[in-house]
Chains A and B, each alone.
Chain A
């Protein structure tokens, strides 16, 4: 607890745990221990909300990119998220290489699998009548296959990825910051920034946006549409994998973590207005904070139910999400 009052200093007696700051004449009217605890919780919850939000942003960006470009809801991303965590664990744990290599390996391996799944599973379906639901079902099947391969190969036990950075520091008395969490925020922000630059500045990024805007027109001016789709699938799979590494460095890793994460990513994506990249960013941090506050003040078991009720309420009032175009939702 930090007291903003200028003439406040820690009590000298041994019972400082009970009342760390003394004003000489007892607790002040505005700064009691209770308000101190509330502020402390609020700061802590905001911080963990930001950490969660940055992971959700990576995850949801995967959904958004694919939906924006292909109008395809890739439900295999949850499993790819888990796979990313396991690849990093394999590299950094049993193989004993540097943890940063784990992130790179996860991105590369899962991106290749993502592109491969485009050519094997998604491409034959595109353009068929009813392809939109067919791709959803196929991606669900792909998710099952990946998740069960992980289960068979790595076993059902929880695994812990070695931390990239150990230790941490405290900001005053209020906030415990672990370097790992800080790194999570930094890595995802950097990746999102690079993504933004890639989409707006590079040739491939422009091609992706062109295809997203009008596939037929992009095709007519000579954009290799299928290659663009494969790149999009690869990038979004890679993003999910990095999110998987970052999250499982904070929590544990087991073969079924992808399901909940896939659902969260989907919630963020829809909340941000399917296909809108900026909207997804806002939504990711908003939902991270929301979840974190609910866990802090109502208890962790209410965070998911509260999130769903919130989501349903938002979708009734604003079916296009916070940044989506209304006509997208209804037609």
Chain B
């Protein structure tokens, strides 16, 4: 097919530069967000077992990764599959610093985020000038390269196939497990909320509009003077920072890091979370993360079918519900809103 997709007629339900102002009351949205926040704050007291607390922390960590992956994949239209590699860079940087050089884990966590940003620049400089399939390949290759180097490392420095463990869990190692998990959960929740606020601000800024313009009508956006390469590098760096932060936090939370962090199956699960939640939507990745991590636990009895089901769901959603679960949820929300205050139905949110 020679014609570029942007020139084809757009189907319904796609966000195509919807910059039309939407008139609606903000009260409903605010109430919803506050409700979700209260639920998130109360969650560890309602699900007060180590098993559930563990899951809650993982939800927060993966939600950060998914939200930042969605920022570049869903909004900026960069087909990067290097997100998990950047997550691994964050985790390994923090682990190596605390393990070998006795650097404070807090400092090491920050260093992990910065190192992931640096790595994203190394990855982005050659690949972001290219497009489409080339970006897929280069980012996948970067992922495999890191996995290979660490897996086959026999020098003991990275721990090779066995990994490293024992970083002290931010000095909380001696705390009773239930308390420790709660502290970790609230810390992860704070990180998640911070990430979301910053990404929300970016999306609402002219920068966010530029990203969406580049995704939906690249030639037009470039003609209007948007510096494509620089903006793409910038969004890549922002996304990598939060991913690296989540990775470093993950390493300290598990108190261990190994090459299984680069597991391809995990990457597919993360992708499935974004697709099922709804890519290119703000709340989609979070909804997807919560839902799939829950499903992953609920389907424990049919262990071998889990990955297959996620793969199948991914196909079904891409074909039938390209905007993910968030779309019907929004429609439902609109119904309720209409009942409440009779305001105009809502357009596509970013």
Contact = CB atoms under 8 A, between A and B. Distances in A.
Nearest to B267: A140
B304 A315 contact: no
Interface stretch (A46-54, A66-74, A99-107, A278-286): A66-74
A145 B308 contact: yes
A266 B137 contact: yes
B5 A129 contact: yes
A14 interface: no
B163 interface: no
A128 interface: yes
Interface string B122-151: 000011011111101110111011001100
Q: State the main secondary structure of chain B at its contact with A.
A: helix
A160 B129 CA distance: 43
Given A129-B16, A141-B315, A315-B126, A134 B322 contact: yes
Interface in B265-312: 268, 271-272, 275, 304-305, 307-308, 310-312
B319 A124 contact: yes
A12 interface: no
Interface in A111-148: 121, 124-134, 136-138, 140-145, 148
Contacts, number: 140
Contact of A142 (B2, B126, B310, B315): B315
A133 B131 CA distance: 12
A270 B133 CA distance: 8
- Interface size classification for chain B: 35 or more
Nearest to B215: A130
A277 to B, nearest CB: 16
Contacts of B134: 270, 274, 315, 319, 329
B268 A129 contact: no
B152 interface: yes
Interface residues of A, number: 54
A29 interface: no
Contacts of A214: 2
A213 B11 CA distance: 26
B305 A152 contact: yes
A134 B137 contact: no
B308 to A, nearest CB: 4
Contacts of B140: 263, 266
B1 interface: yes
A252 interface: no
A151 B305 CA distance: 10
B137 A145 contact: no
Contacts of A259: 264
B341 interface: no
A129 B148 CA distance: 36
Contacts of A213: 2
A67 B136 CA distance: 14
Contact of B310 (A133, A144, A315): A144
Interface in A8-67: 67
Given A127-B8, A148-B308, A316-B126, A301 B152 contact: yes
Contact of A129 (B8, B132, B312): B8
A311 B10 CA distance: 36
B14 A305 contact: no
Nearest to B148: A304
Interface string A250-290: 00000000011001001100100010000000000000000
Contacts of B73: 133
Nearest to B11: A128
Nearest to A214: B2
Interface of B: 1-3, 5-6, 8, 10-11, 14, 16, 73, 77, 79, 126-127, 129-134, 136-138, 140-142, 144-145, 148-149, 152, 216, 264, 268, 271-272, 275, 304-305, 307-308, 310-315, 318-319, 322
Interface of A: 67, 70-71, 73, 75, 121, 124-134, 136-138, 140-145, 148-149, 151-152, 213-216, 259-260, 263, 266-267, 270, 274, 301, 304-305, 308-309, 311-312, 315-316, 319, 329-331
9 contacts: A129-B5, A144-B314, A216-B2, A266-B137, A266-B140, A267-B137, A274-B133, A308-B142, A312-B138
Given A128-B14, A145-B312, A315-B126, 8 more contacts: A71-B2, A125-B318, A141-B272, A148-B308, A216-B2, A266-B136, A309-B145, A312-B141
